[in-house]
Structures are given as C-alpha cells and as structure tokens.
Amino acid sequence: MPHRKYRQFGSRLVILTMTVCSIAVILACVSFITFQLSQLRPKALETANSIAEMTAIHSYAAVAFEDKQALNETLESLKAIPEIQWVHVSNAQGVALSEYVSEKNDQKRNHSQHQAPKFDEIKVRMPIKHGNQTIGILELHYNLRPALSNLAFEFLILLIIGSLAVGISVFIAIRKHRDLIRPIHALTQAADKVSKTGNYAVRVTQQAEKDEVGMLINVFNGMLDKIQNVHDELDSRVKERTEQLNEALEQAMAANQAKSQFLANMSHEIRTPMTAILGFSDILQEPDLSRDDQFKYLQTIERNGKHLLAIINDILDISKIEAQQMQVENIPTNLLEILHDVQSLMQVKATEKSLKLNFNIQAPFPQTIHTDPIRVRQVLVNLISNAIKFTEKGHITVTAQLTVPTNLKKSLISFDVRDTGIGMSPRQVDHIFKPFTQADETTTRRFGGTGLGLTISQKLANILGGDLTVSSEEGYGSCFTFTIASDQISTKDMITSSGSMGKILLNAEAPSEQPHPKAMASNRQLQGIRVLLAEDGIDNQKLIGLLLKREGVELTIVDNGQLAVQAIHESKYSFDLVLMDMQMPVMDGYAATRQLRREDYNRPIVALTANAMNKDRDACLKAGCDDFMTKPVNKSALIKLVAQYAGRELTKEDQAA
C-alpha cells in the first residue's frame, strides 16, 4: 500500500509539472497575443496618420494649383508602402483631384469614399490646409492584414517553443521524481508515526543527498530529540506567565482602585476648604455684619486658604519627587531652632485636643549640622500633625538623638515621633508609605487627608540621606522614626546633657520670640520707593496694591507686558523695582522682560507667578528676571523683597516679621 501511494504521488507530481508548464505556456501565448493585438491597431493608426500627414504636406502645392499630374506622382510614391490600400484626394468643394489604389486592391477602383472600413483596415481623413484655410481633403485606407499575418506566425513559433518546453519538463520530472519523492515519503511516514504513537525515538534514515530535503530530515531528527523537553518547558512557562499576568492584573486593578480613591479624597480635600472660602466670602458681602463676625469669617477664610495651599504644595512635592526634580540645600542648620519652631507651631494644635506634646533631646546631640532646614521642618511638622490627628487622648513625644553617638562619621540624626493614638495593624503598616493611599478607607472617611504626606516625608528623608520607618500596634499607638545624614557635625556646640526642650534651651541660646505679623502695624518703611506692578488679575492688583501702599510704596499698576514697557519708557526708567506677572494677555512677562533687557534696562525685575516648579523659576531667570516669587503672595516676603531690591534697610522689627 505505501508503495502504491508512492506511485500515485509520483504520477501526480508528473501531472502537476505538465499542468503547470502547460498553463504557463498558454498564459504566455495568450498574454503575448493579447498585448500584440492591443498594440496593433493604435500603432497602425499612428503610422497611417503619419503617412497621411506627410502626404498632405507634400500634396499642398498640387492641390492649391489643382496640378493633377504632380498630385498623381505624389500618390504613386506610396507604392513603397504595401499596407496602403487606397488614397483619395479632393478639393475643398469635394471634387476628386486624384486617387491611388494599390495593385493588390486594383479591383476596388470604384471604392466609395463614404464606405465604412472593415475590421482589417484603418481609414484616415486628413485635411490639406493653407494657413487656417482647408483647401482639400486626403482620405487613406491602411491595411492590417500584413501585420496580422506576422502576428499569427509569431504565435505559431511561440506555441511550438512552449510545447517543446512542456515536453522537456515532463521528461525531466519522470526521470527525477523517484529520487525526489523517496526521502519525502520516508519523512512523511515518520511524522505520521510520531503523531499517532507519540514515540519520539523514531528517526528518519538519511536517503537524500545533501540538499534541502536532506537538511529537512536532519532538522526533523534533531527536533525529535528536543521536542519533549520543549513541550514540558512550554507548559511550565505558560503556567508561570499566567501567574504573572494574574498578579499584574491584580496590581493594575489595585492601582486603579487606589487612583480612584485618591481622586475622590483629593476632590473632597479641595472642595471642603473651597466651600468654606466661597461661602464665607459670600457672607462677608452682607452689609450688616459686625466687625467681630467679619474678623471671625476672615480667619476662617485664611485658615481654609492655608489648608488648600498645603494640599497644592503636597501635590507639587510628589510631582517633583516622581520626576526626580526635587532639590535640597546643604547649609548650616541649627537643629534647636527647628525643634523650637516646630514645638511652638504644633503646641497650638495639641492644646486644642488636650494632648501633651513633649520634646526630648538625648545627649550627645549636635546643635548645628549641614542639611536642608526647610525639608527637615516639613517632615517633622507632617509627622507630628499626623500624630495629633490620630491621637484622641494621651501624649505625643518627640525624641532627638544620634543613632551612633560613639562614631560621629557613621551616625545619623534620629527623630522619634511617638503617640498614644489608634495605632495600625501589620497590613496597614505595609501600605502606609504608598502614594495616594492611607491605612484604609475608614481612616480617610474619619480623619480626611490626601494620602501624600507620609510618601513625601519618606522620599524627603531618603534625599536627606536617611529614612522614615514606622512601628505600630493597633490600639496602642505608633512610633515614626525619621533619620537624616549628619554632615559636618561640629563638636564645639555639642549638647552634652539630656533633657526636655525647655531644659535644653535654658542652657543654650534660645531662639528669639518673633512677633506675629498681624500684630505689627505698618511703619511705612518703604516710603518713597517706586514700584511698577504688571498684573492682569484685578483681585491680585488690589491685594498687592493694598500691601505695598500701606508701606508707603508709590505704586503704578498696568494690565500687561506691553503697557509695562510703555510705562517704563514714559517714566524714563525711574522705577526702583518691576514686579512682573509672567502670564498676561497682549504681551506676557517673558516677552516684556526680554525686550527690556535688549533695551539695556538694568533695573531689578522680579517674576511674580503662580507657576512654582523649578523649571518655571529657571525660565523666568533665563528671560532676564533677577528673582522669582510665587503666588499666593506672602506679605512679609513681599515687603522684604521690595526693600532688598530697592536698597532700603528694614528695621529689626520688620526683619523679624
């Protein structure tokens, strides 16, 4: 039976070869004839038109003078072209002047000039012109039979050659099909046996030469050696990838849920203070409010505005950290001053909840190190604020110490913030430092917050060379440990005795108490300073104008950069300082500043903008600004900045503010 199949396959191969070759020959012949026929008539028509045009040109004089003898001689010259059957020339009135009929077509001398041409001829009608005037008509019949005869002969030759090619192909296929089929047949039998029995020990005996079929057999034998291992490995990989995909899907769903929860929390956190700000702003517009109510409502607006600003700052900080654009300073920092400031700030919140806030320092402890005081203060405030938020009763204790007191080069500054609050479970501790998340949803609903504070604090601790960790027991409180690198510790001002903050400050130089800015009345320290404010916001114009005019500043306000440039030109460069908003209509602050610097304006220009990113500061300085101040504007910082660039020294009281 296999041998019979082998013969059938060989016969089919021969038949297939003959069929393919025959089809190829037929297609070649048909293509050739089709192409030639498609080109025959257009080429003949082009040739007939050319002959008719040349004959008309040469017959021009004879037709014009009706010289029939000359016209006959011209037409007789067409005998050299056997395809020309018949030519007829008449004047413009249709009177025949001359006619030429080929010898093979002599019996058609009575041919009518109005008779339609046959399929094997082409009729051309060509006017004979004198300028734009037609003086005669030339009609020409072109015979296609010679061309058709040549085409038939070429087709016959092509058919003979194709038939010989088919015969030779069949002969070669008959001679070689056994050698070609035998190894393929053996390979087919082996593959069939493997597929039915699963026996990968089967091998194909090499029967072919070292050609593609022989290479195929070698590859097949090698494949059988490895296919079982590959099959097992593939199953293992599929299981592993399935587990990874399931895990990735779970992580994506968790991240999406965390994002949705964060957006909901953020919407709540932003809308809550905005509701208070807008609501009390509306109430303040009522004319019959008492001054006490006005002051109370303004305090509420200010408190909610600061809360909203803190949320925005958290979002900006996490954005900078994620983009790896967070920069910290490394300057001499008095740790006692920072701890005292934080204690003074947080004591108010702790007292409101009847909580004790204790600060302890473990000796030896350096009073001054090199770090970023703003970021250290930010982390401590955040940790203590959280401790107060999540503690209903008891106390919060902040302990500052060196991690390795005996080796200052390897030691870190450590701050332990311990509370007696609600505490956390191990599962909650695992998620507490992830961005946009809090301990759980009940925590968010009960205490609020965006879930960014601890993430930012940990990132800042890492940037400062330390870390932020937590230990907690549910129901018994938590302890957050914040460490920073202790660069360039000076042993001269080392605190050598342990104790509370108050006790330590008695033995060290205590930070001077600064009066609250609101308690200070304006003493017009900036009297006579001329300032140009370029700001398009009406409310910002009123606010900044009020702050500066109360200090005696002579203020000029314009709505855009173009008006600012004009005001400087009209004042003949008499302004001591230009406060330039960077986003304004007509001409923004960047373009205005660049134009002024190109005009050699060398007075101070300070950028005033709500864009608070580092790249925004760099863009302002690159445009030519001398400094950069962000909105919302801080009164004390604004006054200090104006005095600085106007060359005016403030009193000690103003500097303290």
CATH class of domain segment(s) 237-326: mainly alpha
**CATH 1.10.287.130 domain residues, the chain:** 237-326
Domain 2-150 homologous superfamily, CATH: PAS domain (3.30.450.20)
Residues of the chain within CATH 3.40.50.2300 domain(s) are: 522-656
Q: Could you tell me the pLDDT band of residue 276, with boundaries at 50, 70 and 90?
A: low
Task: Give CATH superfamily name and number for 330-510.
Answer: Histidine kinase-like ATPase, C-terminal domain (3.30.565.10)
Residue 86 scores a pLDDT above 50: yes
Comparing 3 with 394, the larger pLDDT belongs to 394
The pTM of this model reads 0.45
* Highest mean pLDDT: which range of 180-184, 246-250, 276-280, 394-398: 394-398
Widest pairwise Cα distance in the chain: 144
SS3 645: helix
pLDDT given for residue 112 in this prediction:
45
pLDDT digits (tens, 9 = 90+) for 318-347: 666 666 666 777 888 888 888 988 888 888
Question: What's the rounded mean pLDDT across residues 119-147?
Answer: 81
Q: Which of 469, 321, 335 is nearest to 413 (CA)?
A: 335
Domain with CATH 3.30.565.10 in the chain: 330-510
Least confident of 118-127, 487-496, 515-524: 515-524
What would the pLDDT profile of 489-500 be if each residue is shown by its tens digit? 766 778 888 777
Q: E strands of 216-257, at which residues?
A: none
Better pLDDT: 312 or 440: 312
Bridge partners of 91, per DSSP, are 136
Strand extents, DSSP E, 104-201: 121-130, 133-143
Distance between CA atoms of residues 199 and 595, nearest Å: 86
**Can you list the alpha helix ranges (DSSP code H) found in 285-409?**
291-322, 335-352, 373-389
Which pLDDT band holds residue 565 (cuts at 50, 70, 90)?
Answer: very high
CATH 3.30.450.20 domain span(s) along the chain? 2-150
The enclosing H or E element of 98 equals: strand 96-101
Give the distance from CA 334 to its chain's centroid.
Answer: 45
What's the confidence (pLDDT) of residue 483?
93
- Give, in words, the CATH class of 522-656: alpha beta
**CB atoms closer than 10 angstroms to residue 46:** 10
113 — pLDDT class (breaks 50, 70, 90): very low
111, burial (CB in 10 Å: exposed 0-12, middle 13-18, buried 19+)? middle
Q: What are the φ/ψ torsions at residue 648 (nearest 5 degrees)?
A: -110, 130
